[in-house]
Structure 1
Amino acid sequence: MNPLIMLNEVQIEEIRKLAKDKREYLGIASEVPIANDIVTILEKLDIILLEYPIYSKGDSPDFSAAIMYSEEDNKELTFIGLNTADYFDKQVFAIAHELYHYFTKTGSHISRLNDIDNNLLEAKANRFAAEFLFPEIALKSIIINEFKTSKLEKTSDKTLMRFMVRLQCSWWLPYRSIVKRLSEISAISKEQYNRFYDIDVRNLESEHAKIGIAFNSEVYSKLNKKTNKIGTSAKDIEIIIRNFEDGLIDEDKFAEVLDLFDKTPDDFGYKITVSDEDLEEFEDFFSGGNLDED
């Protein structure tokens, strides 16, 4: 097993500044959760989101997301492929992770967020995702305001558990990312980190799940659900329709592309016979066949 990558102070500060600058560029204050608005951010950046469930043989997906680029009419197009066979909170984190690669221009690749951070580039992307979604300055402020101290070593497990569940439901990070954030700012001890990190939060009978459902059943259930969604944004669907209406793609291509997102021309008022096209190229994209893996 490769050793765990530990970022140094300079690297962490560079990532913190990058996340702060990008939030400011997007008009998002540090105390405001991004949560489900991550999709809106992609639209602002002209990144096309492709959602598709890719299943693996084990319990966890083989990958969480992928980023790739292509060129059309001398214009570079950016795509993020999101594996919706993963839990929704990890989908949100995976998109933020890919935004690091987008902002730093590190090229096409596949992200496997279940892996240990034993790759420097991936460790940086994971730290950026956490800082972008939940800025350190906001977390520290919340802790000070609620507990009147920056250290939570003496806080009871039950109180700390409720606190982390509330953070998760407000900021939409995976539970273990919340635990890691608290450890990164030295708010909790190593023993607390190990104790809370090992909790199986996907077990709906666990204390964590019961608290989450009691606090905010709708959000907690959404975060802990594998959506298995097939689709892209309404904006990108509109582009596909207009390309057809302008004669840039024919009926077969129009039907084929919509079929990728589990839609038909009839959904938009067009009566077209759908041809039986091979979707292997689309599957290859999500399986990483055309990408260089880090």
Structure 2
Amino acid sequence: MNRNIRLNTQDIESIKKLAREERFKLGFSEDPPIANDIKTILDKLGIILLEIPIEAEREKPAFSAVILCSDEGGERLVFIGLNTADYVDKQIFAIAHELYHYFTKTGSHLSRQNEPEDDVVEAKANLFSAEFLLPENTLKRQVFEEFKSYSLETVQRKVLLRFIARLHCTWWLPYRSLVKRLWEIKAITETQYHELYALYERDPDGEYGRIGQSTQRDVFLALNTITRTVGASPRAIETILRNFEDDLIDEDTFVNLLRQFNQSPADYGYEISIPQDNMHDFIEGWNHDD
């Protein structure tokens, strides 16, 4: 949640209630981490995930995720486009952020990387994302079980970093989101918040990077990886296949759509020959994509 935007108590409690209810509907209590199941959750909700890397241009940040809603033939289709030119933990947070817009039916929405929250809706969506992935009650319990206190004011910096690294590797929230969460529940002071938030957490040879790797090396490195994945949920690919089989799209469109996700008709048992006249354009398309 943006510290410059103060949500009132009613808003905060409403968001916590929404996150708790949606977790329960999906079969999760407050205790288990669910970040690893985030794509399965999208499948359960019937949301089509499209993954594509979009690099930032100059001073303009790329989008982190976008949710698009449309009604076609009486059927409501919901897509989440995810920018995979970002760290894995931030990709997960971005999906959960868009789920707020899905659950509250605020319509199509685009979020940008590192974009300051300049409205209440974005602050609510970020709080929902954090609460959905790591409920406040669970975080408070983790703090108390570890330190026998709800306050970490007297805890040394290195001890705090080790604790945050364990939370990071278990719940898969980004480091800075965890620091904000600890500040929001008043576990750390204003001074501690600024000190921890100022740390650059992505340097593998930095203080936090070394601590994280000594905690759960494989998980920590995976969360700090920029994947640049290109892909789509099985439902998206199935939609493309059905549209081709029902003659709603032609062969060229079929080939081009699958190519966007590094797939081909042959992967699904279709042998489609590309006319010699189109071969040059086809190859040029691949070269342009690279």
TM-score by length of 1: 0.89
What are the Cα deviations for residues 109-157 of structure 1, in whole angstroms up to 9, with x where unaligned? 2112512222111000000000001000110111111111111111111
Indicate if the aligned counterparts of 1:3 and 1:118 stay in contact, CA closer than 8 A.
no
Indicate if the aligned counterparts of 2:69 and 2:78 stay in contact, CA closer than 8 A.
yes
C-alpha change, 1:113 and 1:181, in structure 2 (3 Å) is: farther
Aligned equivalents of 1:263, 1:77: Cα separation in 2: 23
Q: Which residue of 2 aligns with 1:191?
A: 191
Aligned equivalents of 1:228, 1:5: Cα separation in 2: 32
Identify which range, 12-21 or 141-150, moves more after superposition. 141-150
Q: Which residue of 1 aligns with 2:69?
A: 69
1:76 corresponds to which letter in structure 2?
Answer: R
Q: Which residue of 1 aligns with 2:164?
A: 164
Identity of aligned residues (%): 53
* Alignment RMSD: 2.2
Indicate if the aligned counterparts of 1:150 and 1:187 stay in contact, CA closer than 8 A.
yes
User: Are 1:78 and 2:87 matched, yes or no?
Assistant: no
- Structure 1 segment 81-100 matched on structure 2, within 5 A: 81-100=81-100
Q: Which residue of 1 aligns with 2:114?
A: 114
Aligned equivalents of 2:172, 2:19: Cα separation in 1: 17
Q: Which residue of 2 aligns with 1:202?
A: 202
2:9 corresponds to which letter in structure 1?
Answer: E
Q: Secondary structure at the match of 1:64?
A: strand
Q: Secondary structure at the match of 2:63?
A: coil
Q: Which residue of 2 aligns with 1:123?
A: 123
Aligned equivalents of 2:260, 2:253: Cα separation in 1: 11
Aligned equivalents of 1:111, 1:153: Cα separation in 2: 34
Q: Secondary structure at the match of 1:169?
A: helix
Aligned equivalents of 1:122, 1:70: Cα separation in 2: 22
What are the Cα deviations for residues 259-287 of structure 1, in whole angstroms up to 9, with x where unaligned? 121211122222213565899xxx9xxxx
1:147 corresponds to which letter in structure 2?
Answer: F
Q: Which residue of 2 aligns with 1:287?
A: none
Aligned equivalents of 2:211, 2:141: Cα separation in 1: 23
Q: Which residue of 2 aligns with 1:39?
A: 39
What are the Cα deviations for residues 44-95 of structure 1, in whole angstroms up to 9, with x where unaligned? 1111111111112248842211111122222110111111111111100000
The higher radius of gyration belongs to 2
What are the Cα deviations for residues 19-46 of structure 1, in whole angstroms up to 9, with x where unaligned? 0010011111111111121111111111
Identify which range, 70-79 or 54-63, moves more after superposition. 54-63
Indicate if the aligned counterparts of 1:49 and 1:80 stay in contact, CA closer than 8 A.
yes
Indicate if the aligned counterparts of 2:164 and 2:175 stay in contact, CA closer than 8 A.
yes
Q: Secondary structure at the match of 1:76?
A: strand
Displaced runs of 4 or more, over 6 A: none
The count of aligned residue pairs is 279
Q: Which residue of 1 aligns with 2:28?
A: 28
Aligned equivalents of 1:144, 1:28: Cα separation in 2: 22
TM-score by length of 2: 0.90
Aligned equivalents of 2:160, 2:60: Cα separation in 1: 27
User: Are 1:135 and 2:135 matched, yes or no?
Assistant: yes
Aligned equivalents of 1:115, 1:61: Cα separation in 2: 7
1:96 corresponds to which letter in structure 2?
Answer: A
Indicate if the aligned counterparts of 1:89 and 1:173 stay in contact, CA closer than 8 A.
yes
Indicate if the aligned counterparts of 1:35 and 1:133 stay in contact, CA closer than 8 A.
yes
Q: Which residue of 1 aligns with 2:102?
A: 102
Which ranges of structure 1 fall in alignment gaps of 5 or more residues? 284-294
